[in-house]
């Protein structure tokens, strides 16, 4: 199988994630889309690692995972706090930082 | 020669003035006596200096006193030091002598004023400043006194400044004087740029190497200064309004001493004017115009003080004219200055005495027949009157006839024009002074029954008597054996005392002058036999113009004040709309742009994300395009 | 410990002491601040007495390594010019504190902050006039903006926030240009002598003409804004109207002098060739400032605005003197900086008392004060006379020196400048007549005259105005060598008298 197919898959996943972030209102879903984008990036890293024959990409994907984990911790905490204070998980409701 | 006493002449009245101001109301009871004693002490110092000077030989008479180094920057070295020579001693005696008399007079004249102490403090300050003016040994020291007397004049004209017109008169005097001061400032600058010195000696030493153009400019600037201080054309308009001050002030400052400072300045700078005939011509023109200008105004004034002020202006015109006639004229100018100091001060005090008796009424149309109720005032005023119109052997005869004589002797067309002008001036002087005498002291009584004219107290008439004696005697005294001319010779014209050519015999001139005087007197006596209480309105255009001071205020208003006001208002608008407007425009553009860009920050996370995606795509696209 | 260290550190310590005092003990705070400033003034007078006038080199030198990686040193020292200005600043601070004893209470941040800001400002004022290192100068130059910004914005009246912002933006704009020029100098010094910011090293560089012109402009525009020179002046009237009198005195009396001081010490010393190029333009701008400021002052309807515009006119005289490049002009201009500080202080103090008593700053609301409050009226009158440069008061000496110096080189400019003295008489006498003379205006009847504290505050200023009018010699002796040094350094000599002996 052509190895570039993995890259195509990664690109498709990333695009789906990006569109999800822009289109969906629910914070949890947006969050999951972000995760999707990160994992698409991971897939690309691993693929490149395979193509180049070294481990750099794999190491990078570990970093990404750690970052993603941290992000989940902080992000979910924010979402929970937000939901507690305004009984909604819609990102459009949290638009107080304008102007 | 040096002397260590000169400083007292200035320091005594200066400290007395500051002391009286700082003491405040506590000194109200004795302030006036203290100030008068100080003034008398200054006169005493002056007399002793004069005695000492008189006992020395002609070229040893000048004394100096170095006080301290004032300004020293590079080659600009000015010391505070004083010079008392034959010229300045005349002024010292005049200022402190007449000044003391007027102090005495004011004790009674101002006795009802609750600010009498402040008045005396100002008088002492004036004495100090005026003495500094005549004692300074450099133009810059003179300048300090010059502005000092301007300040004293401002304070005293505006002494009753709760009345807005009086305050305005004071301001007008100060500003007109400041215009003159610009002349003196520039003269000092020219002197420094030309000669590297601003002392009289330094300038005198450098004059020979200077270009005529520089000397003319220097002379013209000194003339401008003199015109401001001495109320000469074209800066004359302040003197009439200055009569807002209390009458003793008018007598001391605006008749006898301060207004003659211009004559002092020109005679003191004789070495400059000797070097430039153009400058001398300018001086003569200014003097000639002013002597007629003042005399004409004098013929139409009903306010006794304003009539006298116009007369002062005219008489100083005589002095300026004389001093512009070169070496022969300087001493004559000083002689007229001194005699004028006596008779004009005496007459002003007389006018004050009349006003004092008439509840401060100044309109001569409401006087009449005062001679009977105020005999001493009448007698002293009458002697001053005879002196000013030049009846022999009173003081004015000697000094004014000399001026007419040297004016004719200037020669050629110039001599005829100047002689004619001075002669005409003499006739008009006789006319307006007779008019003043007749309207005030003779005729029928025109005051209403509320007024109770009475003779003034002794403190007031005593100074008047002393000044009247002066008006009688000084002319003879100064003229016998050419005493004043010889006395002043070392300062004014050491080389050519009798250089003037004699085109007309003195006797001819005197006869002509006397004829003019008789004409003037006769005309006035016939015309003012009866005086209407209200000034007639159906008068010729000339009288109307003369009543309005020959339109001098109207001229200043249209040519200077109005455009100045428009310019000021315009600049205020320019500053707000143009300069600050530009600054505000820049601010508005910046804040407008930021308001516009702020809209992007709408608070929606999803739109931020979209912008990020678009940005990322744009970046990739750019890289793609560039690498292709 | 050198004098300069003491003069700089004591206000800083004082501000720390004020900072730890309890907030509600306002009287104690004021006394502490006042005591500190008096101590500083005393030490500064001591420094002036110890200043060697015959020595034209900078004195009280001290040098500490500061940022070695870029060659910036914390080095201080004063010439006669800096000494005179520090002396003026140190004398003015206690007077300002005493005169405005109660003016901090209306402020946004309370009394304590006010005095902390004032004392910090004093330290910076000393620093800016004694910095021997251009980078250090720049740091003080900009850092000074911080306390002033808060003093205007927090304690003034009217539209104080906007005025403070305008002041800050103007100054920052100028500062930015100066920073660019300083970096330019730094690069050039790196090529010639090794990286340095030392003023003496920098003034010995050889810089080609066009570079000089750019660098000169960078410095000059910053100083012209600070001074302020027409047409960079519009921040000043706004700031003066919005500030408390005390802030105005420090702003116009001391801080603005940094501009004119900088022109002498940096513009002319560092870029003599560029100075020659720009002198004609600057002379014209100065003359415009003199006349324009005077006309605008005549047209003002508010006391503070009037004082601000008189200052613009006076700053015109100062720059005229500096760029006349004659010893009289430069010494006169420096003396003018000192005298203007005291004379403006007197005007703002009395003006401030008048305004606070009447509750209005409009000139038309006053009238007849000479008979209601004679002492206050006298003080205002004397301050006014000093503003119109009456002989016998200090400003005359300096103004005349400036004019005489200018006349020897640029007679036409001097003639126009001299016309300014007529306008000066007008702007002073008009306000004097409107406020002091005439019948007592409504609302002026019950006004109280100066109290003891106010008398004590104004007395030294008036005494100095008179004293320096007759004995400017000690100051002039200190200033002359420094001014001459600036001239000699740029290869200029006084014009000789035209008519030889």
Q: pLDDT, tens digit, for every residue of C166-191?
A: 999 999 999 999 999 999 998 888 88
CA distance C433 to chain B (A): 6
- Contact yes or no for A21 and B609 at CB 8 A: yes
For position B47, what pLDDT does the model report?
93
CA distance C328 to chain B (A): 6
Q: In this structure, what is the dihedral angle of CA atoms B545, B551, B553, B559, given to the nearest 10 degrees? A: 160
C400 touches B: beta carbon within 8 Å: yes
Number of domains in chain C: 1
Residues of A in contact with B606 (CB under 8 A): 21-23, 25, 30, 91-92
Domain edges within chain A: 4-87
How many contacts does B have with C, using Cβ atoms within 8 A? 170
- Contact yes or no for B605 and A94 at CB 8 A: yes
CA distance B12 to chain C (A): 16
Residues of C in contact with B181 (CB under 8 A): 421
Q: Has residue C278 been placed in a domain?
A: yes
Please tell me which of the candidates B69, B143, B175 has its beta carbon nearest to residue C425. B175
Candidates B73, B210, B245: best to mutate against C (most CBs of C within 10 A) is B73
Q: Are C383 and C347 in contact (CB under 8 A)?
A: yes
Taking alpha carbons only, the member of B36, B37, B44 closest to residue B5 is: B44
Alpha carbons B599 and C453: distance in angstroms, whole number: 55
Q: pLDDT, tens digit, for every residue of B532-573?
A: 777 777 778 777 887 777 778 888 888 888 888 898 888 888
For position B487, what pLDDT does the model report?
84
- Pairing relationship of beta strands B63-73 and B76-84 according to DSSP bridges: antiparallel
Q: pLDDT, tens digit, for every residue of B249-260?
A: 998 988 889 999
B523 touches C: beta carbon within 8 Å: no
CA distance A96 to chain B (A): 6
Chain C, nearest residue to B165 by Cα: C438
- Contact yes or no for B583 and C501 at CB 8 A: no
For position B501, what pLDDT does the model report?
59
B119 touches C: beta carbon within 8 Å: no
Locate tokens 């013209």: which residue? B220
Give the chains touching B; criterion: ≥3 Cβ pairs < 8 Å.
Answer: A, C
For position C1, what pLDDT does the model report?
57
How is residue B602 written in tokens? Answer: 């709408």
CA distance A41 to chain B (A): 15
pLDDT higher for A92 or C361? C361
User: Which residues, numbered 573 to 592 in chain B, qualify as contacts with chain C under a Cβ-Cβ cut-off of 8 Å?
Assistant: 575, 579-580, 583, 587
- Contact yes or no for B74 and C480 at CB 8 A: yes
State residue B269 phi and psi, 5-degree precision.
-95, 30
For position C330, what pLDDT does the model report?
93
Angle at C341 between CA C311 and CA C483, to 5 degrees: 100
- Contact yes or no for B601 and A18 at CB 8 A: no
Residues of C in contact with B68 (CB under 8 A): 471, 473
C80 touches B: beta carbon within 8 Å: no
How is residue B575 written in tokens? Answer: 């500053």
For position C501, what pLDDT does the model report?
45
Give the mean model confidence (pLDDT) for residues A85-93.
82
B613 touches A: beta carbon within 8 Å: yes
Q: pLDDT, tens digit, for every residue of B403-421?
A: 888 888 887 788 888 888 9
Question: Which string of b and e fits B284-297 if b means at least 16 CB within 10 Å?
Answer: bbbbbbbbbbbbbb
Please tell me which of the candidates B194, B569, B580 has its beta carbon nearest to residue C497. B194
CA distances from C477 to C48, C55, C213, C471 (A): 11, 10, 33, 11
How is residue B50 written in tokens? Answer: 């004069």
Residues 6+ apart with CB under 8 A from C213: C271, C274, C277, C278
pLDDT higher for B500 or A97? A97
User: Which residues, numbered 436 to 455 in chain C, qualify as contacts with chain B under a Cβ-Cβ cut-off of 8 Å?
Assistant: 436-440
C146 touches B: beta carbon within 8 Å: no
Taking alpha carbons only, the member of B154, B159, B148 closest to residue B176 is: B154
Please tell me which of the candidates B602, B606, B610 has its beta carbon nearest to residue A98. B602
Q: Identify the segments of chain C with pLDDT beneath 50.
A: 501
Q: pLDDT, tens digit, for every residue of A24-67?
A: 888 889 889 999 999 999 999 999 999 998 899 999 999 999 99
Residues of B in contact with C368 (CB under 8 A): 162
The three-state secondary structure class of B82 is: strand
- Contact yes or no for B185 and C421 at CB 8 A: yes
* Residue B2 DSSP symbol: B
Contacts 24+ apart (CB under 8 A), A76-81: A76/A31, A79/A27, A79/A28, A79/A31
For position A88, what pLDDT does the model report?
83
C abuts A (3+ Cβ pairs < 8 Å): no
Q: pLDDT, tens digit, for every residue of B507-518?
A: 888 888 888 889
For position C500, what pLDDT does the model report?
56
C298 touches B: beta carbon within 8 Å: yes
Query: Above 60 in pLDDT, residue B448?
Result: yes
C473 touches B: beta carbon within 8 Å: yes
Alpha carbons C254 and C248: distance in angstroms, whole number: 9
Q: Are C385 and C429 in contact (CB under 8 A)?
A: no
User: Which residues, numbered 19 to 38 in chain A, qualify as contacts with chain B under a Cβ-Cβ cut-off of 8 Å?
Assistant: 21-23, 25, 30
B64 touches C: beta carbon within 8 Å: no
Q: What is the mean pLDDT of chain B?
A: 87
For position A98, what pLDDT does the model report?
62
Chain C, nearest residue to B569 by Cα: C299
Half-sphere exposure (CA, 13 Å, Cβ side) for C180?
A: 15
Q: Has residue C495 been placed in a domain?
A: no
Locate tokens 């504290």: which residue? C453
CA distance B619 to chain A (A): 16
How is residue B330 written in tokens? Answer: 């300087």
Residues of C in contact with B140 (CB under 8 A): 400
User: Which residues, numbered 16 to 35 in chain B, qualify as contacts with chain C under a Cβ-Cβ cut-off of 8 Å?
Assistant: 21, 24
Q: pLDDT, tens digit, for every residue of C451-492?
A: 899 999 999 999 999 999 999 999 999 999 988 888 888 888
* Residue A96 DSSP symbol: T
B abuts A (3+ Cβ pairs < 8 Å): yes
Chain A, nearest residue to B608 by Cα: A22
CA distance B573 to chain A (A): 36
Q: Which CATH number fits domain A4-87: 1.10.1740.110, 3.30.70.3040, 1.10.287.3510, 3.30.450.40?
A: 1.10.287.3510
Q: Has residue C500 been placed in a domain?
A: no
Locate tokens 């306000």: which residue? C431
Q: pLDDT, tens digit, for every residue of B601-617?
A: 887 888 888 888 899 99
CA distance B623 to chain A (A): 18
Q: Has residue C501 been placed in a domain?
A: no
Q: Which helix (H) or strand (E) holds B351?
A: helix B327-357
How is residue C452 written in tokens? Answer: 């003891």
- Contact yes or no for B568 and C299 at CB 8 A: yes
Alpha carbons B459 and B109: distance in angstroms, whole number: 9
Q: Has residue C380 been placed in a domain?
A: yes
The three-state secondary structure class of B256 is: helix
Alpha carbons C169 and B282: distance in angstroms, whole number: 55
Domain edges within chain B: 276-547, 556-627
**pLDDT interval class at B15 (50, 70, 90):** very high
């Amino acid at each position: 199988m052509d190895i570039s197919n993995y890259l195509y898959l990664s690109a498709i996943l990333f695009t789906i994630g990006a569109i999800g972030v822009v289109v969906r209102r629910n914070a949890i879903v947006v969050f999951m889309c972000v995760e999707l984008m990160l994992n698409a990036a991971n897939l690309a890293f691993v693929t490149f690692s395979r193509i180049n024959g070294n481990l750099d990409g794999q190491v990078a994907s570990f970093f990404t995972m750690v970052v993603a984990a941290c992000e989940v911790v902080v992000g979910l905490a924010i979402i929970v706090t937000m939901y507690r204070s305004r009984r909604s998980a819609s990102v459009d409701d949290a638009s107080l930082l304008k102007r | 020669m040096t002397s260590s006493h000169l400083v007292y002449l200035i320091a005594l009245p200066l400290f007395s003035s500051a002391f009286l101001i700082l003491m405040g109301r506590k000194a109200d009871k004795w302030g006036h006596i203290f100030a008068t004693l100080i003034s008398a002490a200054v006169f005493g110092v002056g007399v002793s200096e004069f005695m000492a000077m008189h006992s020395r030989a002609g070229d040893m008479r000048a004394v100096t006193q170095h006080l301290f180094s004032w300004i020293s920057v590079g080659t600009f070295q000015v010391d505070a030091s004083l010079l008392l020579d034959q010229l300045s001693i005349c002024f010292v005696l005049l200022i402190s002598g007449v000044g003391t008399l007027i102090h005495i007079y004011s004790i009674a004249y101002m006795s009802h004023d609750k600010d009498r102490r402040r008045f005396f403090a100002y008088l002492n300050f004036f004495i100090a400043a005026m003495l500094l003016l005549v004692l300074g040994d450099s133009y810059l020291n003179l300048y300090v006194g010059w502005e000092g007397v301007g300040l004293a004049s401002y304070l005293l004209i505006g002494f009753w400044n709760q009345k807005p017109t009086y305050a305005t008169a004071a301001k007008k005097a100060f500003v007109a004087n400041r215009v003159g001061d610009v002349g003196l400032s520039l003269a000092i600058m020219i002197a420094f740029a030309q000669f590297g010195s601003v002392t009289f000696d330094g300038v005198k030493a450098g004059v020979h190497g200077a270009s005529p153009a520089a000397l003319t400019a220097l002379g013209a600037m000194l003339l401008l200064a003199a015109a401001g201080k001495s109320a000469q054309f074209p800066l004359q308009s302040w003197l009439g309004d200055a009569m807002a001050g209390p009458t003793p002030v008018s007598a001391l400052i605006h008749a006898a001493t301060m207004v003659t400072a211009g004559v002092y300045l020109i005679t003191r700078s004789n070495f400059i004017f000797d070097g430039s005939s153009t400058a001398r011509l300018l001086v003569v023109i200014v003097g000639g115009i002013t002597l007629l200008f003042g005399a004409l105004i004098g013929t139409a004034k009903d306010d006794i003080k304003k009539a006298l002020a116009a007369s002062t202006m005219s008489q100083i015109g005589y002095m300026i004219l004389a001093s512009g006639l070169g070496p022969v004229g300087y001493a004559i100018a000083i002689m007229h200055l001194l005699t004028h100091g006596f008779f004009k001060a005496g007459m002003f005090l007389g006018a004050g005495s009349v006003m004092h008796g008439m509840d401060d009424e100044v309109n001569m149309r409401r006087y009449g027949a005062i001679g009977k109720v105020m005999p001493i005032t009448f007698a002293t005023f009458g002697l001053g009157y005879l002196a000013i119109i030049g009846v022999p052997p009173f003081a004015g005869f000697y000094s004014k006839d000399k001026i007419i004589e040297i004016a004719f002797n200037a020669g050629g067309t110039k001599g005829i024009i100047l002689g004619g002008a001075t002669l005409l001036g003499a006739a008009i002087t006789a006319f307006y002074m007779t008019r003043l005498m007749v309207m005030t002291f003779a005729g029928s009584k025109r005051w209403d029954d509320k007024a109770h004219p009475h003779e003034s107290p002794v403190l007031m008439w005593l100074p008047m008597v002393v000044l009247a004696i002066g008006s009688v005697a000084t002319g003879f005294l100064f003229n016998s054996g050419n005493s004043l001319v010889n006395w002043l010779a070392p300062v004014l014209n050491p080389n050519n005392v009798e250089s003037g050519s004699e085109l007309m015999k003195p006797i001819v001139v005197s006869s002509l002058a006397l004829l003019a005087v008789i004409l003037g007197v006769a005309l006035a006596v016939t015309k003012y036999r009866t005086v209407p209480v209200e000034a007639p309105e159906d008068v010729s255009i000339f009288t109307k113009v003369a009543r309005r001071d020959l339109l001098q205020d109207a001229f200043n208003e249209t040519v200077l004040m109005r455009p100045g006001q428009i310019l000021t208002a315009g600049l205020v608008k320019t500053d707000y709309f143009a300069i600050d407007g530009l600054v505000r425009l820049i601010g508005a553009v910046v804040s407008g742009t930021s308001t516009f860009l702020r809209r992007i920050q709408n608070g929606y996370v999803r739109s931020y994300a979209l912008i990020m995606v678009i940005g990322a795509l744009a970046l990739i696209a750019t890289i793609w395009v560039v690498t292709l | 410990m050198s004098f300069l260290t003491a003069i700089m550190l004591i206000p800083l310590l004082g501000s720390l002491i004020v900072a730890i005092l309890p907030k509600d003990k306002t009287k104690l705070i004021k006394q502490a601040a006042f005591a500190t400033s008096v101590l500083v003034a005393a030490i500064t007078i001591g420094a002036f007495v110890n200043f060697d006038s015959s020595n034209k080199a900078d004195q009280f030198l001290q040098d500490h390594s500061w940022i070695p990686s870029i060659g910036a040193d914390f080095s201080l020292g004063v010439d006669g010019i800096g000494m005179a200005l520090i002396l003026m600043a140190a004398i003015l601070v206690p007077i300002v504190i005493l005169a405005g004893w109660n003016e901090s209470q209306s402020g946004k941040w309370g009394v304590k902050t006010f005095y902390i800001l004032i004392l910090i400002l004093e330290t910076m004022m000393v620093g800016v006039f004694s910095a021997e290192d251009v980078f250090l100068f720049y740091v003080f130059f900009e850092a000074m903006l911080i306390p002033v910004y808060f003093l205007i914005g927090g304690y003034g009246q009217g539209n104080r926030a906007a005025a403070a912002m305008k002041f800050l933006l103007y100054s920052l704009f100028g500062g930015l240009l100066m920073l660019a020029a300083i970096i330019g100098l730094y690069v050039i010094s790196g090529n010639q002598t090794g990286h340095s910011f030392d003023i003496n090293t920098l003034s010995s560089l050889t810089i080609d003409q066009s570079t000089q012109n750019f660098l000169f402009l960078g410095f000059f525009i910053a100083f012209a804004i600070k001074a302020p020179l027409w047409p960079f002046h519009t921040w000043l009237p706004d700031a003066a109207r919005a500030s408390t009198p005390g802030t105005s005195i420090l702003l116009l009396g001391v801080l603005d002098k940094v501009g004119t001081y900088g022109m002498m010490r940096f513009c002319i010393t560092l870029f003599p060739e560029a100075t020659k190029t720009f002198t004609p333009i600057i002379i014209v701008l100065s003359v415009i400032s003199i006349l324009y400021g005077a006309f605008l002052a005549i047209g003002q309807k508010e006391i503070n605005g009037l004082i601000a515009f008189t200052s613009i006119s006076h700053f015109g005289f100062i720059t005229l003197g500096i760029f006349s490049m004659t010893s009289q002009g430069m010494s006169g201009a420096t003396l003018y900086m000192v005298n203007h500080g005291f004379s403006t202080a007197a005007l703002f103090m009395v003006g401030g008392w008048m305004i606070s008593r009447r509750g209005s700053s409009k000139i038309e609301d006053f009238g007849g004060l000479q008979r209601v409050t004679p002492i206050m009226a006298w003080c205002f009158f004397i301050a006014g006379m000093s503003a119109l440069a009456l002989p016998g008061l200090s400003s005359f000496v300096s103004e005349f020196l400036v004019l005489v110096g200018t006349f020897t080189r640029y007679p036409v400019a001097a003639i126009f400048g001299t016309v300014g003295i007529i306008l000066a008489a007008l702007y002073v006498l008009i306000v004097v007549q409107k406020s002091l003379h005439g019948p007592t205006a409504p609302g002026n009847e019950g006004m109280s005259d100066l109290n003891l504290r106010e008398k004590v505050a104004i007395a030294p200023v008036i005494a100095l105005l008179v004293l320096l009018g007759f004995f400017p010699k000690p100051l002039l002796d200190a200033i002359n060598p420094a001014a001459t040094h600036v001239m000699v350094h740029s290869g200029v000599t006084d014009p000789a008298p035209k008519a030889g002996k």
